[in-house]
Chain A
């Protein structure tokens, strides 16, 4: 599989935050989840990829071409959904579409109309009157109506009810059925990724902590529970995060096989993506 997007040592210094040599790549035909807590750098990274925030250093290659040199051509192949929509709220859906559509070489009005019908949107409705869910559907309609190869979405599920979130996930899976399509979306709601993500990239404090296949990540990591007596200097090193109480310990490990070898009589459970994310960033579930 080809690399659709390659970020190498991407750096950006902002007032109270910096992206610290962010490097990762997206593979063609994959849904990649970009996870991290609020303020970890997800939006800054996405905005930098899109050229909305100017990078201080590093390289952004899309479809093998440097983004800064071929920005206009490359953006024709990207569909974008931004977290706050960034729509002119006083416009109608039709007016907004009439502004966006001429920007794309391969805008397909039939596709646009079919999504509008599917989502029961009214073209004469003002954007300000749309609910959060409808707004997201409209944003996706705009993003998918020019046959984009890469769909970039920033927190698309944030603030949506479970039904709309589920609809969105189905839509992404449908989009992926076509050959050569790739999805990159950021979220702090990791439950969305359990169902659909192929790859996961974890960012925290502007640094990439891990970039791996979801299934491999879930296979190699485990939640381990057991008696405190099993913990010693050697076994403690096997855990990314460890919580000890009077009744025993609970920890997340990335060395499942070593735990098997070195610790008998422990309970090993399959972790969720959230468990793994929190283990790497050193937080607890309550922190999210």
Chain B
């Protein structure tokens, strides 16, 4: 059932899927070459992924807000919690697609894009989860219209604020938190944090949505 709800989101966003695929291919190359970043393509991947995911997620939210289709779905045996879970799963699937597209492009043009290692993917997933982990419950609580302005500001400021912050962090190793964890566990830590943040956010969203009048 959950799978069908994710398919539903893809059908709603289908008009933009090809455009986003092109953006996911061209975006990292453009950002890396223009900003002359030297971090193996990590920042260009995060920025592109965040943009693509936000635009597709927003397209779905806009359609939900316009047609109130979720009211009909909630009148069927679909549960409210499955509708919420599907939103998170949709983001996960989109992220996996973003990683796949980026990796393919990095194999095709290795001179332009560095390959992502597991830690980079984990960190990118963590950033995406933090963003959507806040956005989704806020949107369930306040609705699409009120939330979109806040989200727009945050997303459009990301390319300007995010790269300098990461560059600055990278150039100041003393600021990096040193973990006493083994290297392998350190690589998986972002995934663990992603899972925790995702689960907490999902439970908050389920609670909010279960009290909402449709």
Contact = CB atoms under 8 A, between A and B. Distances in A.
Given A52-B213, A91-B11, A102-B1, A86 B68 contact: yes
Interface string A56-79: 000000000000000111011010
Nearest to B15: A90
Interface stretch (A93-101, A194-202, A221-229, A276-284): A93-101
Contact of B76 (A53, A73, A95, A103): A103
B56 to A, nearest CB: 14
B72 A82 contact: yes
B75 A75 contact: yes
Nearest to A102: B4
B101 interface: no
Contacts of B213: 14, 47, 52-54
Nearest to B71: A86
A93 B4 CA distance: 16
Given A90-B12, A99-B5, A80 B79 contact: no
A96 to B, nearest CB: 9
B67 interface: yes
B78 interface: yes
B34 interface: no
Contacts of B15: 90
A167 interface: no
A104 B77 contact: yes
Given A54-B213, A86-B71, A98 B1 contact: no
A46 to B, nearest CB: 9
B205 to A, nearest CB: 16
B11 A84 contact: no
B72 A87 contact: yes
A80 B11 contact: no
Interface string A133-166: 0000000000000000000000000000000000
Interface residues on B, range: 20 to 34
Given A72-B77, A90-B12, A98 B71 contact: no
Interface string B41-62: 0000000000000000000000
Give the most central of A72, A76, A99: most B CB within 10 Å. A99
A84 B5 contact: no
A280 B5 CA distance: 45
A47 B214 contact: yes
Contact of A103 (B67, B68, B78, B214): B78
A80 B77 CA distance: 11
Nearest to B211: A54
Given A52-B214, A103-B78, A87 B11 contact: no
A53 B213 CA distance: 4
Contacts of B73: 99-100, 103
Interface in A18-56: 47, 50-54
A89 interface: yes
Contacts of B212: 54
A84 B76 CA distance: 16
Given A47-B214, A82-B71, A86-B72, A75 B8 contact: no
29 contacts: A47-B213, A50-B74, A52-B213, A53-B214, A54-B212, A72-B77, A80-B76, A85-B72, A86-B67, A86-B68, A87-B67, A88-B69, A89-B66, A89-B67, A90-B15, A91-B11, A91-B12, A98-B7, A99-B4, A99-B5, A99-B8, A99-B73, A100-B72, A100-B76, A102-B1, A103-B4, A103-B76, A103-B77, A105-B77
Interface of B: 1, 4-5, 7-8, 11-12, 15, 63, 66-69, 71-79, 211-214
